[in-house]
Amino acid sequence: MSERLEDIAAAMVTPGQGILAADESSGTIKKRFDTIGLESTADTRRDYREMMFRAEDAMKNHISGVILYDETLRQKAADGTPLVDLIKAAGAVPGIKVDGGAKPLAGFAGETVTEGLDGLRERLAEYHGLGARFAKWRGVISISKDLPSWGAVKQNAQALARYAALCQEAGIVPIVEPEVLMDGQPGDHSIDRCYDVTEWVLKTVFAELYDARVSLEGMVLKPNMVIDGKNARKASREEVAEKTVRCLKATVPAAVPGIAFLSGGQSDEEATAHLSLMNAGFDMPWALTFSYGRALQAAGLKAWGGKPENVAAAQQAFAHRAKMNGLAAKGDWNKEREAA
């Protein structure tokens, strides 16, 4: 594959394909495994991810890239094949989460800033050597009556921009992820409030990316959809699609090759339906696809249940979600195909 940032970014948003976010930290994957009553160990984490990466049809046809956690990037499948090689063999680009998580922001009660810039240049060089060609950094913005504050929005945007510039220096495409939470506290905000905050955050992020001399052609944006809080669900699927596209058009330059959404706590079907409605209903200057974690993995995780005898059924469940989201990336998903 070409090593130009533009070409890697284009491969990450190949039409009809999207990104599998499998970069849960050890703490987060433990929470996921708790739901199936499975102990989280290096081996169970490996077995689970190997199950997905060996789902050949899903990986070859619908997954353009996989975001990994540090441990997984270094892990080998049960037969000794590096997991990265399984991903590459399926024609997908391996990626790596490089942020150190959202930590309380001093002086800003209830808000966070994402850590991990110190030593990042050296870590990126190592990750490039291990095969990663894109990276992910997630900034987190919470909505409440009084939040977010300008200080938190600005500092998260600055961190994202510094991260993105370091990635490009290392020949790695940055996924820039400023997530406005749908499932924060109290989570009762309206879709219009989400629109206003998302617009503010994206305007700020692109201003910082410009100041940091980040090449927009060599990045992928990973935003939230414009949607009401998890405890205030009212908006129709059509309204979510229309307001999300309107907000992105108002803020994301056309030079950005692709936008890959996070699922953020939406149900599997909602996340798919929203993406499909956007692609079916609107002309847009960028590719619009998925970079889902929960909405791609939940069905497969449940079907697997940690048991080797369930691997085939789990791969089938994962493949179905990958296929449905692949259809959504082209605007071709519908309820009949969902049920088939």
Nearer to ligand 13P, 93 or 262 (CB): 262
Q: Closer CB to ligand 13P, residue 263 or residue 315? A: 263
Q: Which residues contact 217 (CB under 8 A, 6 or more apart)?
A: 5, 6, 9, 255, 256, 257
Question: Which position among 177, 179, 243, 323 bears the catalytic label?
Answer: 177
Q: How far is CA 174 from the centre of its chain?
A: 12
Rounded to 5°, the CA angle 73-119-216 comes to 75
Is residue 294 near ligand 13P by the rule CB under 6 A? yes
Name residues contacting ligand 13P, limited to 159-198 (CB under 6 A): 177
Query: Phi and psi dihedrals of 92, rounded to 5?
Result: -100, 155
Q: Which of residues 178 and 218 has its CB atom nearest to ligand 13P in the complex?
A: 178
Told to check if 292 binds ligand 13P by CB under 6 A, we report yes
User: Which segment (2-10, 45-53, 201-209, 262-270) binds ligand 13P by CB under 6 A?
Assistant: 262-270
How far is Cα 48 from Cα 52, in angstroms, rounded to an integer?
A: 7
Among 49, 62, 138, 189, binds ligand 13P (CB under 6 A): 138
Spell out the alpha helix ranges (H) of 90-223: 120-129, 150-169, 191-211
Does residue 325 touch ligand 13P according to CB under 6 A?
A: no
Q: How far apart are CA 266 and CA 72, in angstroms?
A: 26
Judged by beta carbon, residue 23 or residue 47, the one nearer ligand 13P is 23
Measure CA 234 to chain center: 24
Cα–Cα distance between 272 and 234 in angstroms, integer?
18
The one segment of 158-166, 189-197, 242-250, 258-266 that binds ligand 13P by CB under 6 A:
258-266
Closest CA relative to residue 296, chosen from 20, 5, 54, 102: 20
Would you call 222 a catalytic residue per the annotation?
yes
Contacts (Cβ under 8 Å, ≥6 apart) of 24 = 32, 69, 293
- The correct pick among 8, 11, 12, 21 for binding ligand 13P (CB under 6 A) is 21
For the record, the structure tokens of 295 come out as 């909405």
Between CA 340 and CA 330 the distance in angstroms is 18
| Among the listed residues 65, 264, 300, 326, the single contact to ligand 13P using CB under 6 A | 264
Q: 136, 222, 243, 323: which one is catalytic?
A: 222
Chosen residue from 262, 273, 311, 317 binding ligand 13P by CB under 6 A: 262
Q: Given the complex with ligand 13P, which of 153 and 262 has the nearer CB atom?
A: 262
Q: Does 295 bind ligand 13P (CB under 6 A)?
A: yes
Under DSSP, the state recorded for 216 is: G
Rounded CA separation 291/293 (Å) = 7
Which residue stretch of 141-149, 275-283, 291-299, 312-320 sits at the interface with ligand 13P (rule: CB under 6 A)?
Answer: 291-299
> Applying CB under 6 A, does 20 fall inside the site for ligand 13P?
no
- Give the pair of three-digit tokens for residue 33: 């495994």
Smallest gap from Cβ 79 to ligand 13P, in A, equals: 28
Q: Which is nearer to ligand 13P, 95 or 257 (CB)?
A: 95
Using the rule CB under 6 A, give the single segment among 57-65, 225-233, 256-264, 313-321 that binds ligand 13P: 256-264
- The whole-angstrom distance between residue 203's C-alpha and the CA centroid of its chain comes to 20
What residues make contact with ligand 13P under the rule CB under 6 A?
Answer: 21, 138, 177, 262-264, 292-295
Residues annotated as part of the active site: 177, 222
